[in-house]
Chains A and B, each alone.
With several copies, the nearest count.
Chain A
Amino acid sequence: MKKIEAIIKPFKLDDVKEGLTEIGVRGMSVSEIKGFGRQKGHTEIYRGAEYTVDFVPKLKLEVVVGAEMAPQVVELIQEKAKTGSIGDGKIFVTSLEEVIRIRTGERGKEAI
């Protein structure tokens, strides 16, 4: 089993989600993160004082899939989340030792 973490631009979520559903991914988890990287942040002005906010709001997608499906998922995310401009994000792949579905106690592939 593989866990695929993708950090993407927020407005890309829908596209990625659709894509994943199409190729048969049945679930995923999303959380909001602050990203720091090459893409620079923005300036804010309060009472005549300038502040540079150097993080960029991003979404972190977590998808767990069977090993054989992982490459396809990675590819799809990379394609769907891509805009070509700095800040598109990253995809990280780790291997999972075990997956359990809480409702049924099923383990491994069945649990996904």
Chain B
Amino acid sequence: MINAGDTTFILICSALVMFMTPGLALFYGGMVRHKNVLATIMQSFIVIGLVTVIWVLWGYSLAFGPDVGGVVGSLAWFGLKGVGLSPSPDYANTIPHQAFMIFQAMFAIITPALITGAFAERMKFSAFLLFILLWSTFVYSPLAHWVWGAGGWLGNMGALDFAGGTVVHISSGVSALAAALLISKRKGYGKEQFIPHNLPMTITGTAILWFGWFGFNAGSALASNGLAAGAFVTTHVASASAALTWMLAEWMHHGKPTTLGAASGAVAGLVAVTPAAGFVGPLSALIIGGLAGIICYGAVVAKSTLGYDDSLDVVGIHGVGGTWGALATGLFASTAVNPDGANGLLFGNAAQLWVQFLSVLVTCIFAFVMTVVILKLLDLTIGLRVDHEEEVRGLDITQHSETAYSL
């Protein structure tokens, strides 16, 4: 039976999660050089259009449709066939099925958008569109099915992922690594200075992400109840604490607390708490976030040593942060918080940590391999990268015939 309170909750949360992707566009857009800001924003913005169409046609069906051997959904729900306005028996049975579908759509949208930070400032727009099309179909949908789909094998295995630590963050972070390695460095990387062109834009994006993330995590309770409130609180607390620790780590390391550091920390905290949100208490969230700020800062700093050019640190924040979060869920999860969850290592259940570890491992391998395959394919056919001349003049003019600012 449809509950008005729950339906309101999921619809508004869907709107909030939708708003995150333009937020991401600003978060990323502010960090690139001004000649690439529109192209960077566009890579997030157009994903909303493209993935929505994919999702309605086949993506949702592959992810949540009738299970096929635990690995993927069937195409029975192609074009949302049978996905109506009354609740689904399998998912969130107090809200219209389409409400659940559109809430999930917003997750399917932002995940590939996250990857774009890795190959910012150098990818060909046409190749980019095809990449998203293939990645969404062959990486996101199956993965979502494994973890959240009725009958999905990772879910059945007992892996805990409240709002998408593996499906969203690890998958995008690992794919980002693959992409950064394959598409190689930006021209002048390490020699020229890549200074963010508009940090207030990045902070604005961060604020929108934080705001939307409440819908992302609390909404994943799929009903408006204590669990939702708990997830809301842990989300906020982890983000706050990570913003502080990243800033402090940088302060100690470089002698200055930066605004971008605080913003990056906030996002790292949100990433880390995502899988844990509904399974841990506020104090655990404080610790998960606090450590996320430090771990992700370390990962971002390590990048320069490792020498790949992950332009906007998708690996360091989403890959590493998501992994930490998934494992942390195996440490801090407590049935006292969520009876439908499980206990983590700290509450006497070492097995859970092992399950979490497996789900991370599986996700990493699957996402990495698939992304390599897709990108190789595109590289050999149409080519991934703009030519040097275009890269120097910037993607805004060469890919889109636009300039961002005429001040």
Contacts and interface: CB of A to CB of B under 8 A. Distances in A.
Q: Do A and B bind each other?
A: yes
B57 interface: no
B90 interface: no
Interface residues of B, number: 23
A46 interface: yes
A49 B301 CA distance: 7
Interface in A39-72: 42-51, 53
Interface stretch (B190-198, B232-240, B335-343, B345-353): B190-198
Interface string A24-50: 000000000000000000111111111
Contacts of A47: 260-261, 264, 300-301, 313
B304 to A, nearest CB: 6
A60 to B, nearest CB: 18
Interface stretch (B58-66, B99-107, B250-258): B250-258
A11 interface: yes
A46 B33 CA distance: 13
Contact of B254 (A11, A42, A48, A53): A48
B192 A14 contact: yes
Contact of A50 (B254, B313, B397): B254
Contacts, number: 43
Contacts of A46: 195-196, 258, 260, 402
B166 to A, nearest CB: 25
Contacts of B301: 47-49
Interface in B61-113: none
Contact of B300 (A14, A42, A48, A53): A48
Interface string B260-283: 110010000000000000000000
Interface residues on A, range: 10 to 19
Nearest to A44: B401
B346 to A, nearest CB: 30
Contact of A44 (B192, B195, B253): B195
B392 interface: yes
A45 B261 CA distance: 9
Nearest to A47: B300
A40 to B, nearest CB: 13
B260 A43 contact: no
Given A11-B392, A50-B254, A51-B195, A44 B304 contact: no
A48 B253 contact: yes
20 contacts: A14-B192, A42-B393, A43-B401, A44-B401, A44-B402, A45-B261, A45-B401, A46-B195, A46-B196, A46-B258, A46-B260, A47-B260, A47-B261, A48-B250, A48-B253, A49-B301, A49-B304, A51-B193, A51-B195, A53-B403
Interface of A: 11, 14, 42-51, 53
